[in-house]
Amino acid sequence: MSQGLDRGRLTSGVLRRLRSRGILSWIVPVLVLVVWQVAVQLGWLSTRILPSPWEVLLAGYDKAVKSGEVVHLWIWDVWIGELWIHLGASFGRAAVGFVIGGSVGFFFGLINGAYKLAEDLFDTTLQMVRNVPHLALIPLVILWFGIDEGGKVFLVALGVFFPIYLNTYHGIRAVSPELIEMGRSYGLNDWGLFRQVILPGALPNILVGVRYALGFTWLTLIVAETIAAPSGIGYMAMNAREFLQTDVVVLTILLYALLGKAADVAARLLERRWLRWNNNFLAA
Amino acid sequence: MGTAAKGLEIGLQGVQRRFGERVVLNQLSTRFAAGEFIVVVGRSGCGKSTLLRLLAGLDAAQAGQVEADGRPLGDLIGDVRIMYQDARLLPWKSVVDNVALGLSGKRESVRALALEALSQVGLADRADEWPKNLSGGQQQRVALARALVHRPRLLLLDEPLGALDALTRIEMHRLIERIWREHRFTAVLVTHDVSEAVALADRIVLLEDGQVVLDQVVNIERPRARGDANFARLEGLVLDRLLNTVQAINQRNQLRGRVVAIRPGDVLAEVEMEVTDVSGHSSVVTSTVTVRNLREHSLEVGAEVIAAFKATDVALVSV
């Protein structure tokens, strides 16, 4: 639901009905697809530049179902489509990197927000490191980790660390000292105070950090996987480029878009679940 | 639980609290009997909130002793609960969970206790709502229930009704009085509203410069009617004592005077005036005005002014 100047003033009855069914927001993407398909079929666009949506769909079907390999999974040997193997590899890197970077960022945000001593010790250093674009470290990371998993996970963790750190830190700082005083005088111990007052108070900010971090996760992966990787969606794209398979390249771009959107939806669901008390998030 | 614990008896002996150079509580000594309803009144900055924070264990005295039932207050701090000027409810907890804050035990028994406290303040039907859906008065009633659920033996009230409208305040007075009579805890209410003090107090303690300058027993039968002659007489007496440094020249409590000093600050400025009362005594009073106000109605040293005294404030009018 967007906040527009014309909010609530959609006059046409047809448009209003379409919006209430969630159809309105899909009209433009569908229109773009149709124009695109028609443009390719009429020969206005060369398939070398841009394959038609239909071809992309076929490429997806091919990668998901037709070509694949037998993978040894724990004790079973299973045949899995190529697409799922690469998707799994990318998703695994994203998840591991996110968990590592997120927990370290959360930890530092927590102690720096709560303790003056920790803030004095770490904050300046972290702020300095923050100003280095983490993708600038790619050459160094390749030297350290080669093209193994470690390097990509490291980069993702680094990209996730700062949004989570900064928002946790500010979230904790923003918790009202009056509420903390009240909690103490009503008999909460340190853990109770943290769980019932400080953490819920900081949560809106922390979740904003999570959404930013998810964005950084995919951005980092795209770059890291196209430069050096033996598997993953980025690897699939680079491989396809060498064989001039434009349809597969476009497919991978669409996959990234879908993954990004899925991550964002997940974050919004968390907000709805955890921030029910906060009106501002109900409409978001 | 269950056994109705009696109120705490509080004794203060030579209590001293300084903030830098400023002495806020100066050799303060007094006793509050068990189950007594004490109302502390005084001008802004007289030390009444500091006294309450000491009793709540949120602040410590630099000298002197604060005792409860003959023991250091710190030993019994679990029996003390405080209600603040704002309700301070946790917005992410439902009303009933706010009331249950700090209770331990089984989920159902904790909820039952909280619901019982909520029904005492007449809000059991709002138990599962978010605090922000409640009015200011209702939020303060939830805060009262949150304090009651711990069965406090000393309940401290730090101007909890200051932000409420007049009607809600009177309703809250009745509620607090009824609950205090049922539970028999010792109550210490800080306020700058003298009629609130007369309505609720067994004893009114007037603080000035960190010392008790008036200790007035209120012997009016409860429930007290505001129109009552005794009520009005006592209210007048306490008000007079509050304003005793200067005597007014007219019914509206106004005095002629001359500005002798202006001390500007970032937001507030202090204006010092020399005023003369009807009997010819001159004294200096200080009024706090916002800098913005001062800019709009410029005052200079030596300007003739009329100082109008309200219950605790001094307002300035240029002449």
3-state secondary structure labels for all residues of B9-47: CEEEEEEEEEECCEEEEEEEEEEECCCCEEEEECCCCCC
- State pLDDT tens for residues B248-287: 445 556 777 888 888 877 777 888 888 776 666 777 777 7
- Topology given in CATH for the domain delimited by B10-242: Rossmann fold (3.40.50)
Q: Where are the domains of chain A?
A: 1-45, 68-282
Pick the CATH number of B254-318 from 3.40.190.80, 3.30.470.20, 2.40.50.100, 2.70.70.10: 2.40.50.100
d(CA A118, CA B124): 44
- Is the pTM higher than 0.80? no
Q: Compare all CA atoms of chain A with the CA of B84 and give the residue at the minimum distance.
A: A182
Quick check: B150 and A192 CB within 8 A?
A: no
> Which of B49, B89, B90 to mutate against chain A (most A CBs within 10 Å)?
B90
Q: Is B248 left (phi over 0), alpha (psi -120 to 50) or beta?
A: beta
Quick check: B102 and A188 CB within 8 A?
A: yes
On whether the CB atoms of residues B142 and B87 are closer than 8 A, the answer is: yes
Beta bridge partners of B311: none
Note the Cα A210 to chain centre separation in Å: 9
d(CA A156, CA A214): 10
* Helix, strand, or coil (residue B149): coil
**Which residues have a Cβ under 8 Å from the Cβ of A113 and sit 6 or more positions away?**
A119, A168, A169, A170, A171, A172, A173, A202
- State pLDDT tens for residues A24-45: 778 888 899 899 899 988 888 8
Q: How close does chain B come to A200, measured CA to CA in Å?
A: 7
Kindly indicate the confidence band of residue A14, based on its pLDDT and cuts at 50, 70 and 90: confident
Q: Where are the domains of chain B?
A: 10-242, 254-318
pLDDT digits (tens), chain B, 319 positions: 444 568 999 999 999 998 888 888 888 999 999 999 999 998 777 888 899 999 998 888 899 899 999 888 888 888 999 999 899 999 999 999 999 998 888 989 999 999 999 999 999 999 999 999 999 899 999 999 999 999 999 999 999 888 888 888 888 999 999 999 999 999 999 998 888 999 999 999 998 888 888 898 998 888 888 878 888 888 888 887 877 644 444 555 677 788 888 887 777 788 888 877 666 677 777 777 777 777 777 778 888 887 776 655 555 555 5
Token digits of residue B317: 């009018």
Q: What is the CATH number of domain A68-282?
A: 1.10.3720.10
Question: Which residues does chain A have within 8 Å of residue B86's beta carbon, measured at their own beta carbons?
Answer: 178
Question: Which residues does chain B have within 8 Å of residue A200's beta carbon, measured at their own beta carbons?
Answer: 90, 92-93
| Single-letter amino acid code for the residue at A48 | R
